[in-house]
Amino acid sequence: MVALQATIMTLVAIGALAVALTNDLVRLVIVSSAYTLLLVILFVVLQAPDVALSMLVVGTIGYPLVLFVAIRRDRADE
């Protein structure tokens, strides 16, 4: 169990770093969506399935969608 927790926490740390280091906005949305998926797995590993289920859709689909539309709109205005 400890090994599993250590693995997923390391992956989350790498994911967070990837989000911070991504420059391209569109790519950033995809990377942050994947990062949220890692968080979902972390919540499952830490036995919080209720939180994981909400996070699954809000973080990996809802939030990226809103960001995509915002980016698209911002670029159209330029």
Scan residues 12-51 and list those touching other proteins (CB under 8 A). Answer: 23-24, 26, 46-47, 49-50
Burial call 35-70: b when 16+ CB within 10 Å, e when fewer: bbebbbbbbbeeeeeeebeebbeebbeebbeebeee
Residue 39 near residue 59, CB atoms below 8 Å: yes
Q: Which stretch binds other proteins (CB under 8 A): 14-22, 33-41, 66-74?
A: 66-74
Q: Which is nearer to other proteins, 38 or 60 (CB)?
A: 60
Give yes or no for residue 57 binding other proteins (CB under 8 A). yes
How many Å apart are CA 3 and CA 41, to the nearest integer? 14
- Positions in the binding site for other proteins (CB under 8 A): 1, 5, 23-24, 26, 46-47, 49-50, 53-54, 56-58, 61-62, 65-66, 68-69, 71-73, 75-76
